[in-house]
Structures are given as structure tokens and as C-alpha cells.
């Protein structure tokens, strides 16, 4: 079996320790070293999902919940080894064009319906169908020519080209999980609000604008071999949607929240409570970054795009907006992304240089007006910067820095779901966005003119498409690394985006979470190393 050593796509509370755990004991006051069924793990999340339909889901909020409701073909253990999950084994043809999976025969959905290869094939074809407009699953399956159920327990995938990154996709239950065909066809619109999956949790309640509550699936018996193999011990996972960060911090201090991403300035404050472990890692992906719509003025001009890169003082941006918790990012991927070329500012040539930026704007035909705002053909350069509530502070710093260039920026804050739809429609000029992903396959989604579900810059560059395909079809790791370098160089030579910095992220986990494993070898979509909860349980408060 050919294994692709690629880090994981998803932000998920997932698999736990390689050591077997004792069976759950039903008692009211368990000892701290004895697994206990019960309790509610409260998770704070800043944004609410648009849908929990795997084929239509495209945001981290939905991915997080879907991974707990559904299950995937394979997963990674805490040591970073690719291991079976719903598929007990698989083979890959020598040319990389055919993948065949043998499914376990004991898998059932939470409603008791057996999971078959027919469900996988049907769901994959649904995501592949252009009419579905699947933003994530559709992109992962973009090079899949056919999905076929050879029999009830054999799934055969045939690719149009070899796909170096498909090893990432098969670990993702958030997007490529099986769903019961009959349930989806009965009411496609309702399925996104009441999904049925084969994972460790079942949707119990969704209060729009407030929370999603998941309930333990007592019949979940097909967990990975490195776990105890049975249902999770934690009875409920309650995901509360809290856009105000100060409210999240207050909830942590009050003991009302067990799991949340926190800012650098609050790490010591949360540690001082004595109630939490705080883990940290550099985020994988390109988030935050400035998306430039190259299909409209002024960003259809290369010199303007280059100027907007040179005008950003990233060191100051990190100091002010991220409170020092970040690392300068000069290309379309972060240092923690598997396959990223570790280039420097000198390689790309976009260090902070305000005078160079002004010169480039002048070469693009702009002159400074009486008020210092750049003008062209009598029209002042005024732009609306689209962002969401999470990145407002970053937007405010950028607003001042671009003012120094002579650009008047108005900040427009919208909800995450609205922003996603607006970016995809192309009805914007400039936006502050972020996409998290553990491997450089993200660049296909961001930059390919046909397959890029996150091609918010609307690039129509045949050379760029060819370079993207190079990292997809090149199966030799060394050759793939060379293809990756060529792609990154081209992206930045054309200044298609303005990368800013890779945040250092901190996650606070309550001390009452026992038996969890924190892995430094498995990376998640949001850059957080993975907390495995398969064998974890909760102490009473």
C-alpha cells in the first residue's frame, strides 16, 4: 500500500491514545484515572456553520462539527501514521490513477442504516456534480473521473490524473464522509440542518445563532485501532457560537467554557486560573491574507498589486494586531504546511518598502492629489476592504498603512457566510480573508482557474494553471518539491495576493478533560496540533 505522508486537513476533536482504555464505569463520582461516561464538553466558537451537509459545507465552523457527526475512510494516529478507519484497507495502482478501498462490514449510520460503498460513490458523485457547487468536497474530488461501488464493501475511485494530495482528502470526515442517499434525497435542504452520519456523535439540537449540541452515539463501535474501539466517553459536546472574544475569555475564567482558541495577551491570564492547559502552534495555511480581485481595477494591474505588497509593514502588523503572536509570511503558504517552500523575503522581493510602493503606483499612472490621496484620470483611489469581525483589528492596521501609500480604505465588516458568498461572486475589489489547510494542495483551491473553489482573485493565467497541476500530478516527493517552488515563485512574481503573517494560535483546554492526547505530529486545518478525545472523559465540576 502506497501511503502519502501528508498532514491532516481538519479542525476536529478526533482520535486518541494508542493505549487501550478500560471500559466505561457508570458511577456518580469517578476517580480521576477511571474513564466515565457522561458530562458536557463546552466549546466556544466565533462563527456558526452555514450548513452541516458535507457536500455543501465549506467553512471551518461546519467542518469542525461535521467531523464529529461523520467519519472518514482513513485517519492519522498521534504519531502521524496514516491508519484505517471506515476503510479497513486500500490499494493504489502503480500509476496512481486507481484507488480501491475495502470497507468495514460493521459500519452503521446513527439511525441504524448500514453504510455501504454505494453511499460513498453516490455522495462523491453528488459533490463532483458542478450543479452541486460543492466548495470543499468538490475541489478534493476535482480530478476524480469516476466513483464506483464494486460491491457493498468495495469503493473504487478512478482519477483523470494522478493526485498527489488525495491522501489528505481520505482523512477528512468533514467533507468526504458517507451520507445515506435516501435521507438526503427525501429532503436535501433539511439535511444540512439535520445531518445523519457514521461518527461518534449525533446532532441533538441546533439553536440558530446560539449553539449546536451533539450527543454521544452509543452504537459507535468502529473507531481506529489505536483507541479503545468503542463509543466516546464524553456524553455531550456543546458548541456555543460567541462572536465577542471578551465573552469567551470571561466564560473560560468562570468555568463555563472548556475549550476555546485564545489570544496571546490572555495566555498567562488563563493559565493563572489553574483550570486549563494551553497548547500552541503556528497556523497552517494563508490566514490572514489580502485577496485582490484581479478581474477588476485597480488590481488588474501588476504594478498596483506589487505596490500593495510592498506597502505592508508586517512587523508592525504582527506587533499591533496580533500582539506579537505571529511569524511573517512571504508566500502563499506557512512554514507548517507540508510541502511549503521555505523562502525568504529576499527570494520574493516584497519586504516593506513604502518608497518602492509609491514608485510602482506612479508607474501605474497614479499621482498624489492635494489631500495626499492617489488619483488616476481624476478619480481618487478609494477602496472598500471587506472583512469579518474576527479580523477587524488587522483591517484597521492595514487601513492606516495603505493611507501612508495614498489609498483611502473604508472597512466593511460582514458575517463570515456573507463574506464567503461575496468573495465567490466577485462583487468586491479587496478583502481581508483567511484559508487554513495543512498541505500545499490549498493552492489548487485558491489559484486554479477551473478547479479553484477559493479562487477569489479570479485568476485566468494558463501558466499558473499548469504550475498548479504540477503539484497535483507529480508523485515523486523531490520533484513535487521543485514544482511547489516554481508555483510559489510565480504566484508572488505576479503578486496575486498579499500574504501577511502566520498566527501563533493558542488553545485552552479545561483540566477536567482527562485522558486526552496532545499530538505534536498531526497538524490541523487551523494550525492547531491535534487533541485526541476518543478515550477522553470529563471530571465532575
Q: Tell whether 229 and 301 lie within a shared domain.
A: no
Residue 420: give its domain's CATH number.
3.10.105.10
Q: Tell whether 451 and 534 lie within a shared domain.
A: no
pLDDT of 8: 30
Q: Tell whether 201 and 289 lie within a shared domain.
A: no
Answer yes or no: is 29 within a domain: no
pTM of the predicted model as reported, rounded to 2 decimal places? 0.75
Answer yes or no: is 276 within a domain: no
Residue 70: give its domain's CATH number.
3.40.190.10
pLDDT of 9: 30
Question: CA-based diameter of the chain, in Å?
Answer: 77
Q: How many CB atoms within 10 Å of residue 211? A: 17
Q: Do residues 429 and 301 lie in contact, with contact meaning Cβ atoms separated by under 8 Å?
A: no
pLDDT of 343: 67
Q: What are residue 260's phi and psi, to 5 degrees?
A: -165, 150
Give the Cα separation of 484 and 388 in Å (integer).
30
Answer yes or no: is 4 within a domain: no
pLDDT of 82: 84
pLDDT of 237: 97
Give, as one character, the DSSP assignment of residue 228: -
| pLDDT (mean) for 398-410 | 98
Which residues lie closer than 8 Å to 259 by C-beta, 6 or more apart?
13, 41, 42, 43, 44, 507, 508, 509, 510, 513
pLDDT digits (tens, 9 = 90+) for 413-441: 998 778 988 999 999 999 999 988 777 88
Answer yes or no: is 6 within a domain: no
Q: Tell whether 89 and 119 lie within a shared domain.
A: yes
For the ranges 144-153, 421-430, 441-450, the lowest mean pLDDT is seen at: 441-450
| pLDDT (mean) for 367-381 | 95
Q: Tell whether 252 and 291 lie within a shared domain.
A: no
Answer yes or no: is 14 within a domain: no
3-state helix, strand, coil in the chain (%, to 5): 30, 25, 45
Residue 521 banded pLDDT, cuts 50, 70, 90: low
| 3-state SS, residue 523 | strand
Residue 171 banded pLDDT, cuts 50, 70, 90: confident
| pLDDT (mean) for 24-30 | 37
At residue 326, does pLDDT exceed 50?
A: yes
At residue 10, does pLDDT exceed 50?
A: no
Q: Tell whether 387 and 405 lie within a shared domain.
A: yes
- Name the nearest CA neighbour of 327 among 465, 505, 170: 505
C-alpha distances (whole Å) from 56 to each of 95, 383, 444 are: 31, 31, 19
Q: Tell whether 133 and 246 lie within a shared domain.
A: yes
Which domain range does residue 232 map to? 38-258+512-538
Answer yes or no: is 95 within a domain: yes
Give the Cα separation of 213 and 215 in Å (integer).
7
| pLDDT (mean) for 25-47 | 75
Q: Tell whether 302 and 370 lie within a shared domain.
A: yes
Q: Tell whether 517 and 496 lie within a shared domain.
A: no
Q: Tell whether 469 and 518 lie within a shared domain.
A: no
The vertex-437 CA angle with 436 and 438, nearest 5°, equals 135
Answer yes or no: is 59 within a domain: yes
Answer yes or no: is 467 within a domain: yes
At residue 74, does pLDDT exceed 80?
A: yes
pLDDT of 5: 31
Q: Which residue has the higher pLDDT, 264 or 12?
A: 264
pLDDT of 20: 31
Total residue count of the chain as it appears in this document: 541
For the ranges 30-44, 106-120, 180-194, 247-261, the lowest mean pLDDT is seen at: 30-44
At residue 183, does pLDDT exceed 60?
A: yes
pLDDT digits (tens, 9 = 90+) for 195-242: 999 999 999 999 999 999 999 999 999 999 999 999 999 999 999 999
At residue 523, does pLDDT exceed 80?
A: no
C-alpha distances (whole Å) from 330 to each of 33, 467, 525 are: 46, 19, 19
pLDDT of 15: 27
Q: Tell whether 112 and 195 lie within a shared domain.
A: yes
Q: Tell whether 379 and 397 lie within a shared domain.
A: yes
Q: Provide the number of structural domains found in the chain.
A: 2
Amino acid at each position: 500500500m502506497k501511503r502519502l505522508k501528508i498532514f491532516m486537513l481538519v479542525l476536529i476533536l478526533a482520535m486518541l491514545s494508542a493505549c487501550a482504555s478500560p471500559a466505561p464505569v457508570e458511577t456518580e463520582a469517578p476517580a480521576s484515572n477511571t474513564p466515565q461516561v457522561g458530562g458536557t464538553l463546552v466549546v466556544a466558537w466565533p462563527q456558526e456553520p452555514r450548513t452541516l451537509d458535507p457536500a455543501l459545507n465549506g467553512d471551518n465552523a461546519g467542518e469542525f462539527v461535521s467531523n464529529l457527526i461523520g467519519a472518514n475512510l482513513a485517519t492519522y494516529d498521534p504519531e502521524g501514521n496514516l491508519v484505517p478507519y471506515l476503510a479497513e484497507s486500500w490499494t493504489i495502482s502503480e500509476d496512481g490513477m486507481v484507488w480501491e478501498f475495502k470497507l468495514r462490514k460493521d459500519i452503521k449510520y446513527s439511525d441504524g442504516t448500514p453504510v455501504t460503498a454505494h453511499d460513498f460513490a453516490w455522495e462523491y458523485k453528488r459533490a463532483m456534480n458542478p450543479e452541486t457547487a460543492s466548495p470543499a468536497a468538490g475541489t478534493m474530488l476535482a480530478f476524480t473521473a469516476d466513483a464506483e461501488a464494486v460491491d457493498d464493501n468495495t469503493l473504487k475511485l478512478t482519477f483523470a490524473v494522478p493526485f498527489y494530495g488525495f491522501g489528505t482528502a481520505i482523512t477528512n470526515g468533514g467533507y468526504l464522509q458517507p451520507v445515506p442517499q435516501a435521507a438526503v434525497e427525501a429532503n436535501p435542504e433539511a439535511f444540512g440542518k439535520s445531518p445523519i452520519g457514521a461518527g461518534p456523535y449525533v446532532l441533538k439540537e441546533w439553536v440558530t445563532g446560539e449553539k449546536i449540541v451533539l450527543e454521544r452515539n452509543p452504537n459507535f463501535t468502529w473507531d481506529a485501532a489505536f483507541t479503545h474501539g468503542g463509543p466516546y466517553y464524553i456524553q455531550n459536546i456543546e458548541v456555543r457560537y460567541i462572536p465577542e472574544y471578551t465573552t469567551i475569555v470571561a466564560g473560560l475564567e468562570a468555568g463555563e467554557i472548556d475549550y476555546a482558541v485564545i489570544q496571546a495577551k490572555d495566555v498567562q491570564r488563563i493559565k493563572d486560573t489553574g483550570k486549563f492547559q494551553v497548547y500552541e502552534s503556528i497556523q497552517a495555511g494563508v490566514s490572514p491574507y489580502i485577496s485582490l480581485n484581479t478581474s477588476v481595477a485597480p488590481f488588474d494591474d501588476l504594478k498596483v498589486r506589487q505596490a500593495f505588497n510592498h506597502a505592508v509593514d508586517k512587523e508592525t502588523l504582527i506587533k499591533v494586531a496580533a500582539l506579537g503572536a505571529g511569524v511573517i509570511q512571504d508566500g502563499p503558504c506557512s512554514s507548517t504546511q507540508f510541502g511549503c517552500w521555505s523562502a525568504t523575503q529576499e527570494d520574493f522581493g516584497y519586504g516593506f518598502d513604502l518608497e518602492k510602493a509609491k514608485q510602482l503606483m506612479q508607474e501605474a499612472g497614479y499621482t498624489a492629489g492635494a489631500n495626499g490621496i492617489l488619483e488616476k484620470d481624476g478619480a481618487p483611489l478609494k477602496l472598500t476592504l471587506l472583512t469579518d469581525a474576527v479580523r477587524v483589528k488587522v483591517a484597521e492596521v492595514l487601513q492606516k498603512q495603505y493611507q501612508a501609500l495614498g489609498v483611502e480604505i473604508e472597512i466593511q465588516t460582514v458575517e463570515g457566510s456573507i463574506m464567503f458568498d461575496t468573495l465567490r461572486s466577485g462583487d468586491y475589489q479587496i478583502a481581508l480573508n483567511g484559508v487554513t489547510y495543512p498541505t500545499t494542495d490549498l493552492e489548487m483551491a485558491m489559484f486554479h482557474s477551473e478547479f479553484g473553489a477559493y479562487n477569489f482573485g479570479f485568476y485566468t493565467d494558463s501558466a499558473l494553471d499548469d504550475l498548479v497541476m504540477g503539484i497535483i500530478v507529480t508523485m515523486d516527493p523531490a520533484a513535487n518539491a521543485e514544482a511547489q517552488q516554481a508555483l510559489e515563485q510565480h504566484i508572488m512574481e505576479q503578486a496575486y495576493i498579499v500574504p501577511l503573517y502566520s498566527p501563533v494560535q493558542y488553545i485552552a483546554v479545561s483540566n477536567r478533560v482527562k485522558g486526552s492526547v496532545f499530538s505534536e505530529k498531526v497538524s490541523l486545518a487551523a494550525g492547531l496540533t491535534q487533541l485526541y478525545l476518543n478515550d477522553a472523559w470529563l471530571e465532575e465540576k
